[in-house]
Amino acid sequence: MSRRRGAAPAPAPQGNRIRTEAGKWIRMRMGVLCGVLGLGLGLVVSAGWDLMVVDGPHWRELAEKQRQRRLRVQPKRGIIYDRSGSALAVTVEVPSVSLDANELLRGVPAPQVPVVARDAANRIARALSIEPALVERKILAKRRWTWLHRQVTAEQVEAIRKLAAGEDGERIRGLIVEGEPRRFHPRRELAGPLLGFVAPDGKGKDGLEYALNRELEGHPDQLRGLRDRSGRLIFSEGIADDQALAGHDLHLTLDQGIQYTAERELANVARTFEASGGSVLVVDPNNGELLAMASWPGYNPNDYRKSSPEQRRNRAIVDAFEPGSTMKIFTVAAGLAAGVIQPTQKLYCEKGVMAVDNVVIRDTHPAEWLSLTQILAQSSNICSAKIGLALGGDALYESLRRFGFGERTGVELPGESSGTLRPRGRPWVQVETAAASFGQGISVTNLQMAMATAAIANGGELLEPVLIRKVTTASGEVVRQSARQVRRRVVSKRVAQQLAEMLVAVTEDGGTGIEADIDGYRVAGKTATAQKTDPRTGRYSLDDYVASFVGFVPAKNPVAVVVVTVDEPRVDYAGGAVAAPVFRRVAEMVLRYRGLTPAGTKPVNLEELARRPDPAHATHAALRAARGEAPPVQEVQQAGKPGKDQVRLPDFTGWPVRAALRQSVELGVRPEVSGTGLLARQEPPPGAIVDKGSAVKLIFRPAS
């Protein structure tokens, strides 16, 4: 039906209007929801951007710290060798026990922690023989890592492993047995005060170990390893070259055979004469190398905790003492060099008594006129004082300074004393000059005395002492090498030779040092018996003395200077009776080592001698055969005929030390000994042809 023209439209139905309004509301809500979601997404994206890009490095570093464990790698400490390549100090791995307390207590309810900790502490303490309370405190501290006991025994390691595996009751988690480096001295007390010791932290604390700690300890590094949720290391990157981190090796000038002899003789004389201490030095005067540096009492660096500072003190360089009559050597040298006295001149010795200012100087052996040789042989204080006064205080002081007194020698050891010549800021007065000329009122060290005596022995040159022959890397590359260093010329060669001849009279009949005489050799030396100052009174003690002897052998072309000092001997205190015999026995060993033969030795047929069986060798061979032991075998070289000044080396295999040494010396070769027992190897091998005077390395091993 058609709609009428001009009529109004019909109103919309009520239902449609409602649906329209509802659609608008839904669209509005959807818009708001989309806006909220969009805003939330924007915030998430923004936060993700900050987390991944802006703060990414920080979170990555935190994650690495949680996931990785850094291990500090302690490199192997360098080895210390003697001059023949025998090890004096090495580093070995020993087991130590540590604890991860968090792992031990993982999963334990809080109320049960004290009970579990106490039970575990008691069991661990029994296994390690330590205090349970100490272990309990470390468990309750809940640290990831802590030492329980360091450097444990094999029995303790086995007990800890049983606890960790649950073989001895309930399993204890978190126990770790790991290797730890420990310094070991295979020769025990030998050269203990010189070598020093290494603390558990790997740092040298005394002697060479302290002085050259930086070179010996190497280059510590860090490694990274992954760890699981329990903190256990499951992967490590490793080291590209472990020798790159290792410490440098030291090759000393010491000869362990001479060192052993010096220590043995020093200990014997100290015990015999009830001395409080002493030291012995052996120096090669031609290059300044220290062949031995003995100090008594000594100690074993392997058990340094059982020693006292008194035992660890290196008396050869630390102790400064009044030298007494040995200083007369250098007073006479200064007088000859300055021309105030002549070699053939005689001095009036005032019949044993002379006053200087308000002090009376006395001689032990009163005399009237004495030559310079007799002054040294009879040790005249009065004539020495006259030489010092003729020089004058300043000239005598400068002469003694040139010999190295009053200043450190520069040896690579800690604690060296410089000694004392005169009070700082003023010159000597007359009585001080007289006293210094015969060794009173001043102080020196044994090393200063040795180097000054070496200057007389080598023709007048004061050398620097050499203790380190060379320093090498773990792979054998030479880092530095020592060489002969002349500090200065102190006297002319003529004066040194004249003085050496005068000093021979000291060890001959009528001299104070006849106990130092060695059959077949001319020995140059000087005794001293010096009173010590009593610190309570400030005066010289009537009971405390320092007995000493300094000398070199042979007097012409010497190979060794030996200086012996014995502090506070009680049974006897004369230098000629106490110190001189030690000099003789040590010097005899050095002469044998150097292959020198005494004067008057009858010539022998060397080839016949080399073929001659040695009784000691035969005895040892028979004993080995009786025990059913096979002797060590070395391949004998088939060489040609020895030329002039050459010898063929016999087969020393299975020989004892003394027999091999004696045979080597008689053959004219220079033996270099390492080890003890019977000879296991020689270099060059048996049958080799070598020049006389060349070195033959003899390596001994203990008999079965």
Which of the 8 DSSP states describes residue 203? Answer: -
Round the CA-based radius of gyration of the chain to a whole number and report it: 40
Round to whole Å and give the CA distance between 646 and 684: 13
Burial class (CB in 10 A: 0-12, 13-18, 19+), 365: middle
Residue 325 falls in the annotated catalytic set: yes
- Helices 328-338 and 493-504: crossing angle in degrees, nearest 10, is 140
- Give the C-alpha distances (Å, rounded to integers) separating 411 from 41, 212, 296, 407, 595: 76, 12, 20, 12, 28
Amino acid, res. 155: E
Dihedral angle of Cα 386, 387, 390, 394, to the nearest 10 degrees: -120
Gap between the Cα atoms of 663 and 655, Å rounded: 10
Q: Could you tell me which residues are beta bridge partners of residue 526? A: 550
DSSP letters of 482-493?
----EEEE-S-H
Longest dimension (CA), the chain: 176
Q: Which of 325, 380, 443, 674 is catalytic?
A: 325
Q: Which secondary-structure segment (H or E) carries 88?
A: strand 87-99
Residue with tokens 């260093």: 485
Q: How far apart, in Å, are the Cα atoms of 309 and each of 75, 276, 564, 655?
A: 29, 14, 22, 41
Burial 384-418 (b: 16+ CB within 10 A, else e): bbbbbbbbbbebbbebbebbbbbeebebebbebbb
Q: What whole-number distance in Å separates Cα of residue 485 and Cα of residue 462?
A: 9
Question: Residue 547's CB: how many other CB atoms inside 10 A?
Answer: 29
Measured CA to CA, the distance from residue 532 to residue 534 in angstroms comes to 6
Cα–Cα distance between 483 and 524 in angstroms, integer?
27
Sign of the Cα torsion 317, 322, 328, 331 reads positive
How many helices, marked H, and strands, marked E, lie in the chain?
A: 24, 26
281: Cβ contacts below 8 Å, ≥ 6 apart? 290, 292, 293, 294, 316, 446, 447, 450, 561, 562, 563
Give the side-chain half-sphere CA count within 13 A for 659: 23
User: How far is the C-alpha of 297 from the C-alpha of 193, rounded, in Å?
Assistant: 9
Which of helix, strand or coil describes residue 101? helix
> Who contacts 368 (Cβ-Cβ below 8 Å, separation ≥6)?
348, 349, 351
Instruction: Output DSSP code: residue 507.
Output: G
Question: Read out DSSP for 617-638?
Answer: HHHHHHHHHHTTPPPP--PPP-
Where b means 16+ CB within 10 Å and e means fewer, 465-500 reads bbbbbbbbbbeeeeeeebeeeebeebbeeebbbbbb
| Pair 323, 453: CB distance under 8 Å | no
Residues annotated as catalytic are 325
